[in-house]
Structures are given as structure tokens and as C-alpha cells.
A and B are shown apart, each in its own frame.
Chain A
Amino acid sequence: MFKTLAISALLFIVSAASWARPYDDVIDSGFITIFVYSDYAPYSWEEDGAYRGIDVEVAEYIAEYLGVELSLLMRGADENIDDDLRINIWKGDLIHRKAADVMLHVPVDKEVDARNDLAVINNAYFQEEMAVVVDRDRIEDLETFGYFTSEKVGAELDTASDFFLSNAFRGLLHPNIRRANTFADTVELYASGEVAAVMASRAQAEYIASVVQDRRSYIAQPPMPGIVRKDWRVGIAVKHDSRDLAYAVGDALNELIVSGKLSEIAAEYGVTYIEPER
């Protein structure tokens, strides 16, 4: 009787584990918790009660490759990547203290890596760029951001695009910037015709072009004076003591890229896959 109790208590602890764990613990438990951002089409979002997106499919593939169940942790972005790494990888949130084993869509940037010594960032699987989706009937050829002194441009509030546009030409574009609280609402700004263009990541811009179908959309990348990063690589993060898990996930990602499957997944969402330097 006592023994049974002890074992079931142990099982409970293991199944309730909600912190980032090394490889053996993940495999033994039979499940892996993977973090993806919410409201982040085409990478990850919730629609009609189902999870959708490129990163969601990547997470499913990783779990399948490791032979474990997938437990998806979808949460919003905090103020910056350092906060996201703390909340989702090495410490957990304040209320439920829940963290993931692996976080997707982490910029592979040596400064970010150096600042966050409790997380390990590697395994670039995606190449990201800044871009603009433009309605050709309103702007024939977006050679410069100067067009937005006379046409309206949208951006998701408080993102890199918002900061770039707000700062551009010493604030000259201010009257024509329309900001939306969520990415979904940013798509709506474009779909409703309120703006002639939206600045976002290239994948997001391509996604907008693919879902707003009654428009002659094109993707432009005019010069972006003062932009912080025109392009960067996207990878994964694990907790500092779980490097072995990152190796195993790296094998899964490699397979996904080399087989051409990731390119197919991206295409489903209207996104051109560019293989990052690895």
C-alpha cells in the first residue's frame, strides 16, 4: 500500500513537470513542451480552437521525430526577447511557474546569446528579413519609404516595424502610420484598405499578400536607413543545462530542412522558404 502510494506520487510529480528539462527526462516522460508565440501568423496562432502555423508544424515534427507527445505552450510576447527567454525557458511565469523544454523562433544573435547565459540559443532553421507588403493599385513601385508621406502604412503596435516607421525621416511619417494592437488586426488594416501597405517581417508580409486575395500585392524591400537588422536568423532556445536536448532537436530540424519538408510547410502559408546559413 505504502509503496503504491509512493510510486503514484512520483508519477504525479513527473507528469506535472513544467520546467525546461534535459533530453533523458523528456524522453522518459513521454512528452515535450514546446513554446511558440501567440497571434504570430504565419508562424503560430490559434484559430477556431486549433493551433496553426509554420512553427506549430515544426513543433509537431520535432515531437514526432523524438517519439514523444507534443505539449504546445502558446503565449504572448513580453517586452523583449530577454523577458521571453526568462518566462518561457529558464524561470517560468510568475503565476503558474510553467516553462517549456524548447522555445521556437528565437533570433540567433550573439549579443542576445551573451546577455542570456541561462538559455542556450542555436539551430537556425529560418531566415528572416524586414519587408513591406504593398497594394500595387495605390503604390506602383515602393522605391522608398518617402511614399508614406502621402500614403498610409500599417504596422503592429510596439514592434520593430513600428519603431522604424516612427523614427524614419525624423518623425515625418507620423501622421500616416496606422498601428494595430495585434497582428490579426494589422492584417485587417490592409484588408479593409485603410492602409496601402504594411511593414512586417518578410514571412508576415508574404502571408498578408496570400490571405488578402482581392489585391494586387507585392513584397518590397526599399532601403531602410537606420534599421537595426535588415535580416537575421531564427533558431531555438533551451535551458543552459539541456544542451543535449538542443542537439536532438537540431537533428530533427536538419531532417526537416534537408528533406525539403520545411519548404513545403512554408509554402502552405504563402511563404518562400530561405535556408539560413547554418
Chain B
Amino acid sequence: MKQNFAWMAFAGTLALAGAGTATAADVTIDDLMNDQATTDNVLTYGLGPRAQRFSPLDTLNRDNVKNLFPVWSFSFGGEKQRGQESQPLIHDGVMYVTGSYSRMWAIDIATGDELWQYDARLPEGILPCCDVINRGAAILGDKVFFGTLDAKIVALDKKTGKVIWRKTIGDYKAGYSYTAAPLIVPTEAHGPIIVTGNSGGEFGIVGAVEARNPDTGDLVWSRPTIEGHMGTLNGEESTMTGTRNETWAGDMWQNGGGATWLGGTYDPDVNLLFFGTGNPAPWNSYLRPGDNKWTASRIAINPENGEIEWGYQTTPHDGWDYDGVNEFIAFDMEKNGETIKAGATADRNGFFYVLDRTNGDFISGSPFVQNISWAKGIDENGRPIWDPANRPGNPAESADGKKGEAIFAVPSFLGGKNWMPMAYSNKTDLFYIPSNEWGMDIWNEPVTYKKGAAYLGAGFTIKPIFDDYIGSLKAMNPVTGKVKWEYRNKAPLWGGVLSTAGGLVFTGTPEGYLKAFDDETGEELWKFQTGTGIVSSPITWEQGGEQYVAIVTGWGGAVPLWGGEVAKVVSYLNQGGSVWVFKVPEQLASR
């Protein structure tokens, strides 16, 4: 069945390429939509618009993965290392890969030679909250696109790396930034659009999703994520998001948070964009009564006009910084003999949710990490059953100058799963979730100052739950909500996952290994030490009849910045910045 679908999609692409006006080296919107089925390229973040991170390639399999060896490694160079969270794109024998400090390279895959480098000139005065990372590019026509730390989106000529256009997503002076991979989707009304979220500091920002014309960068529509704000369409006000003050008090909706910093996914089948939204502001939940929609939510947006078709809030009235931006992956679920148009998301808050992707209806919510304490479970309507004892206290209620009582909340604010994308295997029908088993002590801090004036903040420290591991790669059955197998890793996992029809699951570790596991059992079949930590997402493709695997390496991201007790596990890790490419050498391929 699945094999047939893949072939049909592939045949469709061939027919279009033959009939269309685009030259062979240009990327069409149909190429993007068929990316998962076409194995000779990787044109989208997530190996397809649904971002299932599944490759139908089976040349490389459980038997021959032991023969996987590096072909070349490419250094990002200079002193600009830090965290590398990027997923490369592959097209026409060229790799397009982004790196820390808003840089991009084009590399000849046959030789590993650099074709060009683009280095964004970053202004003084940017204060990115977390790390100077970038997660990847988008490609269409003769251009490649990516976002920069000063909250701009840049379109480059993919042959030369020269700037074609550059547009502002937000004002970096107001704390906006950009790190996610842009998403390109088709529309009837506007042709292809390039869709971005936004990211920024913890205060004063309002989450938004924006669509632009990929040829010019001109804004097509925008959709704020916070209730009470007006969207735009074709340069004019369109509709308001939700109803003003329905879930917000006073004027707090004006600065409510809900940043869409991880970008989104798209399902061509139901023609909806899916974006996760971040935590509300301010952090102290006692200051903002109400559910605070649509923060810590998933929203489905119609790409034609930017209207929200449905929303589902994973953490209403968040008080733990469960910054629920996590990706929502469309998949068809076979349950009780029916095929359900479902979607799944593994939230920062430790629950794995399955929703009806056509309308956002709740289907199930199951824990994917252990000892969750902030909620006792998810009720039949999809709402968390809070444990009031495990909500951080109101700082104002502690006596001045005294450190308040600590509560221990699981997961920690870095999440059961953070940004790192999971994979859905079309072969096993399992989700492979890169998760972490950690909690946090939160207490009312005696006193801190902001911009010169004193307030009571919160102190926190992240703690591992188990002595011997934090990271946990889990195979989750979306039908039963049960974990089929688990791989435990000493350091927290911070990289994405890839699954293949060859029965393999790939992910990287902060200890520096790219690893391959058996998709049915979790048995570790292969590993390679890359020399620095891995916090990025692997890809695979076929070129000249051989299957390649690539991973970007370079330790960093939020863990070393926020480590707490976890710092002990990661403090010895060395920085780096490179991309590694692997294949099975010819002389071993036949074995």
C-alpha cells in the first residue's frame, strides 16, 4: 500500500518535470510536496511537508549498517562554533547547510568541496535568549531561504549564495530573533508561500505566523497567536484571533508571548499548516489569570488566508514554562479497523498527544516520560488534571527576603521533549521520540532586579530523575500510548531522529555519537564518534545508486546554558562545527 503511494507520487513528479517550464536544476512546489517519496533529494525540513522524518530507502538496512563509513567531513571553520542544530537540504548533488551565527554553505556532495558561503553580518545589540543556532533552510525555484539571528529572512541565489531579497520578521532591538527552518507550501490564491514563525525574548513579544511571496519576500498574510490581535491578509486587516479578553485579564493579551519559534509543518491532505506556540508571559502564572490562549498550544491555519481552523491547548494557564512549540506530525492511524486522519505531538509537558488533524479533537494523551508531577493525567476532554501542590508558588506570598519552599516539578522546563524533532516510521507505525527524564526544583527567589528595580523572581535548578541516564529515545505506539522500547543515554538527548524503510532509526548524542538502532527492538546496531556533541537532525538520500546519511555536529544549544545539576554530565563536552557524510563503501556494498 505504502509502496504504491510512494511510486504514484514519484511518477507524478516526473510527469510534471517533463511538462513544466522549470529547468531540471530548479525546485518546484510539487517537488517539495513529494519530498518524502523522492529519495534522491531532501528538499524540506523534516523530509516532507508533514515532517515525518521517514525515508522509504531500504538500501541501507539492519544487516549492512555496520559497514557505514564516513565519506567526507566539512568544517564550519572560524571561532564561530557553539550549538549546531541544523538539518541539511540535498538537491541536484549539492548540500545546503546552515550553521551557528547565521551562516550557510553550499557543498558539492561528490567531493565535499565548498561551492559558496554566506555569512550574515549581525548587528551589535542582539541578545539572543538561548544559543546562536540555526535549524535549517528552505528551497524553491532558484533560491534557498533561511532566517537569521537578527530576525530577518534572506533569499539567496542557490548557485552563487548572493542575496536576492532580505525581509524583516521582527525588530531585533525589541528582542525578536529567528532560528527555525522556513516552510514553503502551495496555495490557490497566492501560488507558493513561504511561512515562518517568530522567536524572541521572554517578554513583550506576541507570537505570529507569517506568509510571504517567495519571489519578492512581500507579506501575504499574518496571524498573531494571542487572542485579541488582528491578522492581516493582502495588506489589510483580516480577522481577530479569538475573542479579546476571553482568556486574558486586562491588557495582558497585548504582550502575551506564544512565540512560534520552532516553525511548523503542513499536511497537503487536509491543506492545513500546524504551528506550536510557546509559553505565555510573564512567567509567574499568578499575574495572568485565565487559560491564556493560544499559548502552549497547537494551531491549525488555512494557508489560503491565514485563518485559524482549530486550536488545541496542551498546557492551559502554564506555570512551568512548558513552552509547547513542539512539532505536530500528520499521520494516518489505523485503529479498530478505521483509518483516522490523525496528528501527533510530544509536548514539552511530558505528554504525547494524538489529535484529529481535521478539527483538533482530542483522541489521546499519554505520558512519554516518567514521574510526571505537574498533572495527574489528561482528562477525556484533553485538559490536564493539575496537581495544585506542584504548581510553583506565587512569589508575592512569600515573606520578603526569605527563600520560599521549593516544589519539584517533572518534567523540567527544558521539557520531556524540547525542540528536537521526533520521527514517524511508515514501516512500523511507531513514533521515535527523543526525550529526557529530568525535573526541576522551583522556589520563590528572595530578590532579584530588573532594569534597576527589585522584584521577587523564581529560582530553579534542573535535576536528573535517575542516576545513570537522562536521555531516552522511545518508540511510542500512537494507538495504545505505550512505549515499545527505550534506549537510555547518559547525557540529555538534544538531536532529531530519522527512521527508514531499511528498519533503522538514527539519532545523535551529546557524547558525539551518531547511532543507528533496530526500529523494532531498539538494539544499537552502529555508532560513529564525530568528535563533538550532536544536537541536530540526521538525513538520508540516494545518489548514484548509493544511500547516504548526513549529520551536522557541534555541541551547544540550551542545555549548557541552563544545565543546573545536569551540567556535570555535559561540562566536559567539546564544541565543534561541521557536517559529516556517510555511505557504505563500494567494496562492502555487496556484502
Contact = CB atoms under 8 A, between A and B. Distances in A.
Interface in A1-53: 37, 40, 43
Nearest to B281: A158
Contacts of A159: 450-451, 453, 455
A232 B126 CA distance: 30
Contacts of B249: 171, 174-175
A163 B282 contact: yes
Contacts of A93: 126-127
A174 B288 CA distance: 9
A266 B36 CA distance: 66
B289 interface: yes
In this complex, the member of B286, B446, B449 whose beta carbon has the largest number of chain A beta carbons within 10 angstroms is B449
Given A163-B282, A181-B255, A82 B448 contact: yes
A51 to B, nearest CB: 14
A81 B450 contact: yes
Contacts of A109: 447, 449, 454
B281 A167 contact: no
Contacts of B286: 167, 171
Contacts of A94: 82, 127-128, 131-132
B384 interface: no
- Interface bin, chain A: 35 or more
B254 A179 contact: yes
A43 B576 CA distance: 41
B125 A107 contact: no
Interface stretch (A72-80, A136-144, A256-264): A72-80
Contact of A80 (B201, B252, B457): B457
Interface string B470-499: 000000000000000000000000000000
Query: A130, A156, A167: which has the most chain B beta carbons within 10 Å?
Result: A167
Interface in B392-441: 394, 396, 400
A76 B448 contact: no
B453 A201 contact: yes
A158 to B, nearest CB: 4
Question: B-side binding surface: helix, strand, loop or mixed?
Answer: loop
Contacts of B125: 75-76
B204 A160 contact: no
A158 B127 contact: no
Contacts of B110: none
B124 interface: yes
A217 to B, nearest CB: 20
Given A75-B127, A76-B127, A78-B127, A107 B454 contact: yes
Contacts of A40: 451-452
B128 A95 contact: yes
A226 B250 CA distance: 21
A96 interface: yes
A163 B284 contact: yes
Nearest to B205: A181
Contacts of A171: 249, 286-287, 289
Given A87-B127, A167-B287, A228-B400, A77 B255 contact: no
A178 interface: yes
Identify whether the interface residues of A are mostly helix, strand, loop, or mixed: mixed
B454 A229 contact: yes
A105 interface: yes
Contacts of A164: 455
Contact of A157 (B82, B132, B255, B456): B255
B201 A79 contact: yes
A177 interface: yes
B451 to A, nearest CB: 4
Nearest to B451: A77
Given A105-B452, A128-B452, A163-B455, A79 B202 contact: yes
A98 B123 CA distance: 12
Contacts of B457: 80
A212 interface: no
A12 to B, nearest CB: 16
B173 interface: yes
Contacts of A174: 249-250, 252, 289
B149 A95 contact: yes
A27 to B, nearest CB: 25
Interface string A181-201: 100000000000000000001
B7 interface: no
B101 interface: yes
Given A178-B251, A179-B254, A167 B396 contact: yes
Interface string A64-78: 000000000001111
Given A76-B125, A95-B132, 12 more contacts: A40-B451, A79-B203, A94-B131, A95-B128, A105-B452, A107-B452, A111-B447, A128-B452, A158-B450, A159-B453, A160-B449, A177-B251
8 contacts: A40-B452, A93-B126, A95-B126, A98-B124, A158-B204, A181-B204, A181-B255, A228-B455
